[in-house]
Amino acid sequence: MNIDELYQTIILDHYREKHHVGLREPYEAQVHHVNPSCGDELTLRAHLEGDTIADVSYDGVGCSISQASTSVMTDLVIGQSVEHALALYDDFLEMMQSKGEISPDENRFEDAIAFAGVSKFPARVKCALLSWAALRDALSQATSKES
Ligand code: ZN
């Protein structure tokens, strides 16, 4: 299996069996993001306990890349600090804008490495970023409510 096939397999696995899917209570912020260029839509809720992301739940429709990206993102951020999630967002964004130039750190990104392959296709980059942009929006709303 070459690297592109590996990436594709990871994405299809998450698309077929989405992790943490469904909208759950409690939550401090709910956002709705769309990617009109592809037709992807995502409703996402964030639940914080102090500085920790206790839960991220979601419901979405769209292409395999946007759906798989959401599933992978929840694996990476649930149970982590808000600060860690935002740092991951920055690094993921940098990778997605690199047109395949940045090789991801597997220890840090886990299954999100699969989207390094997507970064070579500018039309699909927005699909991969949709869930992360929604997460950042929800976290900023949730943290501003607390203070
Ligand atoms: Zn899409």
Q: What is the pLDDT of residues 12-66, one digit of tens each?
A: 999 999 999 999 999 999 999 999 999 999 999 999 999 999 999 999 999 999 9
Q: Distance from the CA of 3 to the center of ligand 1, in angstroms?
A: 21
Q: Which of 111, 70, 108 is nearest to 88 (CA)?
A: 108
CA of 62 to the centre of ligand 1 (A): 6
In 1-121, alpha helices (H)? 3-16, 64-77, 82-96, 106-109, 115-118
CA of 65 to the centre of ligand 1 (A): 6
pTM of the model: 0.95
- Give per-residue pLDDT as tens, 67-101: 999 999 999 999 999 999 999 999 999 999 999 89
Rg (CA), the chain: 14
